Structure formats: structure tokens, C-alpha cells
Structure 1
Amino acid sequence: MPGTAHGAKPSAPSSMKASPSMGDMPGMDHTASGNGLSDTKDGYRLTSQDMTLAAGTRAAYRFAITGPDRKPVTRFAVDQTQRMHFYAIRSDLTGFQHLHPTMAADGVWTADLASLTPGSWRMFTSFTPDSGSGRGTAFVLSRTVTIPGTETTTPLPPAAKSTETDGYTVTVQGAPTAGMTHPLTVTVTKGGKPVTDLQPYLDTYAHLTAFHEGDVAFAHLHPTTRVNGDRGGPELSFDAELPTAGNWRLFLQFRTGGELHTAAVTLNVG
């Protein structure tokens, strides 16, 4: 999703790996508390010298995670096949990129971002240290980045039960209440027929994240459907714990035929 229209495909595939930096982190958040809107928690800090990035071209975002001792963290636990999950989200929720950056020996990560549109973007890092006082604790930390240029905002599409992407129809069933855990069921169809050839992706059949309209707060929806072979679907189950009322933009990523698809839908939480 290049940040120009809601519901478009992601501007970079989530399987993309970035190149190590010139010396200047992986783990999706499944259990971390908080909304990810701070760059610091429990002595761990997301640091970066990249305050702006160029518009309309690929850009490398370099960052590090420092621990309570203020030294770069270099040991991270694997979570859903990765040691670091990285998200770039535009302030109006039009832009969405999910990457798995690479880390240099000195603890500096590089996320190789696809083209970004002018405006404010928030860069989320999701990880679990494998050493130190935070070992085994899931964190989500973020910082904002400005993309210079003429900014055009797009209103969030209204809440809906279904959306389409790449010929697939994704339907979401469930009525979450803010601050409580509720089940969500996602059904994937194509041409009116159930899709049963979903391939495993990040140790699940679909990866689901949500961002809150207005403040871009982060939430991860935990998959409860067990992976059983190379063919999944059409129904997928998730536990949704969305802490704040209002509109949330859900991004569902799933793989078929070796191709990654991203569907976006607005969910209203009471």
C-alpha cells in the first residue's frame, strides 16, 4: 500500500529483507501491553537518527534498540519465524508496510522501505529481547518520521464487514468491545467460493494487525487457528483485544500460490 488509497496492496512485501547498514533488530508483538506509541518502555528505547525520509523513492530507515544499560541490544528471540517485525504506518492509515529488517553486528537494523508519500509516518518495532532484564518480554516501540512534500490526507473508509483484494473477498465477523478480548472470525472467498489453499505465513494462515484512527495506536490480533498442513481456510479465528473505542483499520496478510496478499478493512469498536 503506497499511501495513496485505502485498501490498496502494501507498498512492500512483508517478506522483504533489508541490507545491513554501513555500521551505523526480529518479533511480532503477540503479548506486549500498551499501544506502542512511545519510543521507551522499561528501560528499552528505540533510537534512530532518521527524522525525515525522501518521498517517492525507496528509503532505508536505520534504528537500534538499546537496553537499560544504554547499549544496543543484539540478542532477540524468534517470534513467528522472525526476530523483528517492523511496520510503517501513515497518519491517515492509508500507507502500510510490514517488513522484517536485518541487523548488523553492532545492533543497528535497516528497514528497506518502499516508496512513501509526503506526510507523517509512524515506524513501529515489535520484538522480544533474548537477554538482559527484558528477556522474554514482548515490546512494541515506535517513532515518527516526516516525509517532506505536499501532504494529501484521505478519509478513512467507513466500517464494513468485508473488503476485496486481488480478487479475494475477506469478511470479518465479530463485535469487539474496547478493553475486552473478543473472538473475530475472518473468512476468505474468491468468486463466491471458499478459499482452502491458504499457505502458512509467519507460522499462521493469516497475519492480522490493527491501527486506531487518530492516534495510530497499535494492536495485534492473536491467531487461534492452528496451522495443520500447507492448505488452510476458508475460516480463520483470532482473539481481538482492542483497548480503545472508535475506528480501527485492520490489515490482514495471507499467502496463496506463493503470493502475499494484503486486505484492509475498517472495524468500529464500541
Structure 2
Amino acid sequence: MFASTRPAVRRRALAVAGTAAALALTLAACGSSNDGSSSMPGMDHGAKSSASASAKATPSMGDMPGMDHMADGNGLTDNKDGYRLTSKDTTLAAGKQAAYRFTVNGPDGKPVTDFAVDQPKRMHFYAIRSDLTGFQHLHPTMAADGTWTADLDTLAPGAWRMFASFTPDSGAGKGTAFVLSRTVSVPGTETKTPLPAAAKTAEVDGYTITVKGEPMARMAHPMTVTVTKDGKPVTDLQPYLDTYAHLTAFHEGDTAFAHLHPTTKVNGDHGGPELSFNAELPTSGNWRLFLQFLTGGKLHTAALTLNVG
């Protein structure tokens, strides 16, 4: 009896696993090229608009843009599977721009220099203060010896976490997405900003961002982001990093990292007003979301707090 039922059980288990895999949203950040990219200046919780930077994007015609490889974990470690994020920079000066230098060492202990190009960069770098202010997303440059330099904008005093997201293109970790991080101290008098209450809307540079959906921890759930301006739907979103939006999330309390990409097909400079996501966040509680999108060659960053049950 058990021999006859075992194949059916196995088929059902595989079907369930396949469905879950199809729904799961990539939580890995994409990589960055050697070419430097504009950083995002620090954002205070109370600000309704972000500083913007010019950006040039390359359209992608894939059916599922931005769905990169799955990265295990929440980014709150400097090592995984033999790969280690290393840096001599443990403190950075407050109130001025700073260069953060780091390397990614492989299982052999040597700096990795071969990284896969994805969206269409080889390294994404994120800086976030412990109270989830000061978000910066930039694309560092790599020297021939594997040393990366991230040119950070002004940092406020406090504890910061620096995230590096990458995919090795050779070696034991080839094709595996990693998100590793280290903490940095910025000396000075720290003034913590309370996290704004959970909300479904945010404003930035005259645009209104509205989020629909009720994500649950560890469960894939549809989520829609709508972009409007002056009450009218926005339909001129431009491709940014091969998709119409770049959404990064950090968990309140531990700054755990998650990265979400829209499943909306890219079709030239005609994105919006709705962007669809399959949101899967690993932990319940409040998450601070930073949505970046491009219009008229200008990059906008909206921030809002999302409560995950």
C-alpha cells in the first residue's frame, strides 16, 4: 500500500514546491558595474520629496523584468558559504561625503574580481541608518585588485549598516546571489527619528505613490503600486535598471534587508500607472520601503512604512 501511494505523494509535494517557487519574490539585490552611478542622498523620515539624480537606463524586453536570483537570508551577516565582505572602514565622518572601501573575499580567501552583470550592474550598494533614515543606493566602482569604492553622500551621526549585493561569475558561488553587510559608526550627537506610522501612500517630487495589498510574513502575496501626479495616472515611467521601479525594504529594529522587483513587462518609456509585485517579506512587523522610479531622466525616491502581519 505504501509503495503504491508514495509516487503520488511525491508528485503532490513537487507540485506544491513548484507553485511556491513560482510565487516567491526575489529578495536579492541586483549587481553593479564598474561604472559609477549616482548615489541617493540621505532621506529623513519626515521629508515628502527626495533628492534626485539624473540616470540613464537601458530598456529590457524580458517578460519578467527584474526577477533575479534568490538570495538566502536577510543580509545581516558579513559572510556566507565561504564569501566574506571585508572592510577596514569601521567609522566614517559625519556631515560630509565619504568613501567606503570594501572587498568581497571568496572561499579561497582572495578578493573576488569576477562578478555577473545583472540589471545591468555588477554590484549594488545600500547604506541605511539604524532608525531607517538616510537611505542611499549607489553603484560602486571596482579597482583591478577587487577593492570596491562606494562614494557615499552626507552621513548623519549614528550606527549605519552597509549592504553589498552581488553574484559571483566564477568559482564555487557562481550564479548565486549574495547580500552581505557590515556596520559602520558615524561619530557625533545622534538624533533618532521615530519611524512614521504605517501608511498606504507617500509623496515625492509631486508624485503620489499608493500601495495596495496586505503582505503576510513568509507568504507570497500580490501587491500593487500606483503612481499618480496631480490626481492623474502617470504613464511615462522610464526603465530604471531594466525595470520600471526599484523597491528596497528594511525591517524595523534589525535593519534586515529585502529587495522586490515589479513583474510588469517593460515597454519603452510607457510604464505606469500600476506596477505589480509578488511581495514576500520574511519577517512580520514594520518595514520601511524605498521605491525608486525614473521620469524625464530624473530619479525619484519615495519612502513609506508597510506593516507586515
TM-score in same-fold range (> 0.5): yes
Letter in 2 for 1:260: L
Structure 1 CA distance for aligned equivalents of residues 94 and 149 of structure 2: 18
The structure with the greater share of residues assigned to helix is 2
Q: Look up the match of 1:232.
A: 271
Structure 1 CA distance for aligned equivalents of residues 298 and 54 of structure 2: 11
Do the aligned partners of residues 266 and 88 (structure 1) sit closer, same or farther apart at CA in structure 2, a change above 3 Å counting? same
Which of 194, 215, 236 does residue 176 from structure 1 map onto?
215
Q: What CA deviation, in whole Å up to 9, does each residue of 1:221-240 have, x standing for no partner?
A: 13201101222100001121
Matched, 1:41 2:80: yes
CA contact (8 A) 2:48 2:205 kept: no
Q: Look up the match of 2:290.
A: 251
Do the aligned partners of residues 197 and 206 (structure 1) sit closer, same or farther apart at CA in structure 2, a change above 3 Å counting? same
Structure 2 CA distance for aligned equivalents of residues 172 and 239 of structure 1: 13
Runs of 4+ in 1 over 3 A off after TM superposition: 3-16, 27-30
Q: How much does 1:5 deviate?
A: 3.6
Structure 2 CA distance for aligned equivalents of residues 256 and 33 of structure 1: 32
Which of 153, 156, 161 does residue 117 from structure 1 map onto?
156
CA contact (8 A) 1:197 1:230 kept: yes
**Local SS of the residue matching 1:223:** coil
Q: What CA deviation, in whole Å up to 9, does each residue of 1:11-48 have, x standing for no partner?
A: 685969xxxxxxxxxx9975101000000000000000
Q: What TM-score results when the alignment is normalised by the length of structure 2?
A: 0.81
Structure 2 CA distance for aligned equivalents of residues 137 and 92 of structure 1: 30
Which of 35, 39, 42 does residue 2 from structure 1 map onto?
42
Q: Look up the match of 1:201.
A: 240
Q: Look up the match of 1:72.
A: 111
Letter in 1 for 2:135: F
Q: What CA deviation, in whole Å up to 9, does each residue of 1:114-134 have, x standing for no partner?
A: 000000010000000000000
Do the aligned partners of residues 8 and 158 (structure 1) sit closer, same or farther apart at CA in structure 2, a change above 3 Å counting? same
Structure 1: gaps (5+ residues): 17-26
Structure 2 CA distance for aligned equivalents of residues 8 and 116 of structure 1: 19
Do the aligned partners of residues 111 and 201 (structure 1) sit closer, same or farther apart at CA in structure 2, a change above 3 Å counting? same
**Number of residues paired by the alignment?**
260
Which of 206, 220, 232 does residue 167 from structure 1 map onto?
206
Structure 2: gaps (5+ residues): 1-40, 57-65
Q: How much does 1:266 deviate?
A: 0.4
Which of 137, 140, 146 does residue 107 from structure 1 map onto?
146
Do the aligned partners of residues 42 and 83 (structure 1) sit closer, same or farther apart at CA in structure 2, a change above 3 Å counting? same
Counterpart mapping for 1:135-174 below 5 A: 135-174=174-213
| Higher RCO (C-alpha under 8 Å, 6+ residues apart) | 2
The structure with the greater share of residues assigned to strand is 1
Structure 1 CA distance for aligned equivalents of residues 55 and 146 of structure 2: 21
Percent same amino acid among aligned pairs? 77
